[in-house]
Amino acid sequence: MTTYTACYTKIEAGYMGQLLEWPEVITEGATLEECRAMLLDAAQEMTKAYLETGQVPPQAQLLFEPLPVPTERASHVG
């Protein structure tokens, strides 16, 4: 079993879900629960397709860290 990182984004139609390590695995659902279930199903189907064609599914190798981004406006001199 491999644990992937799912990212859910609120969209007009509900939610969009995507695996960060495997961007081709992407779904939508009316609710977060529906999107989560569809994302799991899509990941299982993609894994099956990869294995049937002799490919190796991506491994979870992400590194997350905070990235401070200045938001103050720079003062103009001159």
17 is a domain residue: yes
For residue 19, tell me if it sits in a domain: yes
* DSSP-assigned letters across all residues of 26-48: EEEESSHHHHHHHHHHHHHHHHH
Query: Reduced to 3 DSSP states, what percent helix, strand and coil does the chain have, rounded to the nearest 5?
Result: 25, 25, 45
d(CA 37, CA 49): 18
In a domain, 75, yes or no: no
Output the pLDDT for position 4: 92
How many structural domains comprise the chain?
Answer: 1
pLDDT digits (tens, 9 = 90+) for 30-78: 999 999 999 999 999 999 999 999 999 998 888 888 999 999 876 666 6
Question: Averaged over 13-34, what is the pLDDT?
Answer: 97
Q: Length of the chain in residues, anyone?
A: 78
Residue span of the structural domain in which 25 resides: 6-52
Q: Is residue 40 part of a domain?
A: yes
Q: Is residue 34 part of a domain?
A: yes
Query: For residue 42, is it within any domain?
Result: yes
pLDDT of residue 76: 64
Predicted pLDDT at 27: 98
